[in-house]
Structure 1
Amino acid sequence: MSTSTLLHGGAVIDGTGSPPQLNSSVLIEGEKIIAVGAEADALAQSHKDVQKIDVSGLTVMPGLIDAHTHVTLGEPASNDELFHRREPATAALIAAHNVKKILQAGVTSILDVDGIFNIGPALRDAINAGITEGPSMKSGTFALMTAVGGTAGRMIPDHGTAGYAEVVHNRDEMVRVVRRQIKDGADIIKIHVTGVIPARSGEIQVWTRDELKTVCDTAHDLGVPVTAHCRGDQATLDAVLAGVDIIWHASFLGERALEAIIDKKTAVGPVFTFLANLAEYGAKVGATASVQSTFAGELEHTGARLRQAYDAGVPLLCGSESGFSITPYGNWHAREMEVFVQHMGLTPLQAISCATYTNAHALQQFGQVGIIAAGAQADILVLDGHPEKDVAVLGNKTSFRHLFKKGRAITLAEVPERSLLRGERVEPWSAQLLKWDLIHQK
Structure 2
Amino acid sequence: MGETTGGDRRLVLVGGTLIDGAGGPPQPNTDVVLVGDLIESVMPTDAREPDRQPDDADAMVVDCSGLTIMPGLIDAHCHITFGEPQSNDELFFHRPQTTSALLASFNVRKLLLAGVTGFLDADCLYDIGPALRDGIEAGLVEGPRMSAGMNALLTAAGGTAGRLIPDSGRLGYGHVVRDRDEMVRVTREQIKYGADWVKIHVTGLVPGVSGEVSVWTADELKAVVDTAHDLGTPAVAHCRSAESTRMAAGAGVDLILHGSFMDDAALEAVVESGAALCPTFTFLSNLCDHGHLVGAATAQVDLFRGEISATAAQIRQAHEAGVKVLCGSESGFALTPYGHWHSRELEVFVEEVGLSPMEAIGCATNNGAFALRLEGEVGLVQPGMLADVLVVDGDPSVDVSVLGDRANLREVVSRGRRVDLSGPWPERRTLPGEKVGLWAAESLTRDVVNA
**TM-score (norm: length of structure 1):** 0.97
SS at match of 1:37: strand
Q: Structure 1 residue aligned with 2:230, among 195, 218, 221?
A: 221
SS at match of 2:77: strand
Bigger CA drift: 288-297 or 68-77? 288-297
Matched, 1:426 2:433: no
Give the match for residue 23 of structure 1: 29
Matched, 1:159 2:168: yes
Q: Structure 2 residue aligned with 1:346, among 346, 355, 375?
A: 355
Pick closer, same or farther for the CA change 1:437–1:139 going to 2, 3 Å.
closer
Pick closer, same or farther for the CA change 1:185–1:152 going to 2, 3 Å.
same
Q: Residues 233 and 254 of structure 1 are in contact (CA less than 8 Å); yes or no, is this contact kept in structure 2? A: yes
Shift of 1:431: 3.0
SS at match of 1:251: coil
**Two-structure CA RMSD over aligned residues (Å):** 1.7
Give the match for residue 102 of structure 1: 111
Pick closer, same or farther for the CA change 1:14–1:200 going to 2, 3 Å.
same
Q: Residues 121 and 185 of structure 1 are in contact (CA less than 8 Å); yes or no, is this contact kept in structure 2? A: yes
Whole-angstrom distance in 2 between the partners of 1:337 and 1:400: 16
Shift of 1:287: 2.5
**TM-score (norm: length of structure 2):** 0.95
Q: Structure 2 residue aligned with 1:42, among 37, 45, 49?
A: 49
Identity of aligned residues (%): 53
Shift of 1:44: 4.2
Shift of 1:436: 6.5
SS at match of 1:98: helix
Q: Structure 1 residue aligned with 2:391, among 371, 382, 395?
A: 382
Unaligned runs of 5+ in 1: none
**Given residue 432 of structure 1, which amino acid in structure 2 is its aligned partner?**
E
Pick closer, same or farther for the CA change 1:379–1:438 going to 2, 3 Å.
closer
SS at match of 2:253: coil
Q: Residues 6 and 44 of structure 1 are in contact (CA less than 8 Å); yes or no, is this contact kept in structure 2? A: no
Give the match for residue 292 of structure 1: 301
Matched, 1:313 2:322: yes
Shift of 1:48: 5.6
Whole-angstrom distance in 1 between the partners of 2:258 and 2:50: 45
SS at match of 1:7: strand
Pick closer, same or farther for the CA change 1:217–1:44 going to 2, 3 Å.
farther
Whole-angstrom distance in 2 between the partners of 1:334 and 1:414: 21
Pick closer, same or farther for the CA change 1:44–1:314 going to 2, 3 Å.
farther
**Given residue 34 of structure 2, which amino acid in structure 1 is its aligned partner?**
I
Pick closer, same or farther for the CA change 1:437–1:65 going to 2, 3 Å.
closer
What count of residue pairs does the alignment treat as equivalent?
441
Give the match for residue 9 of structure 1: 15
Q: Structure 1 residue aligned with 2:283, among 271, 274, 282?
A: 274
**Given residue 203 of structure 2, which amino acid in structure 1 is its aligned partner?**
T
Q: Residues 274 and 323 of structure 2 are in contact (CA less than 8 Å); yes or no, is this contact kept in structure 1? A: yes
Shift of 1:279: 1.3
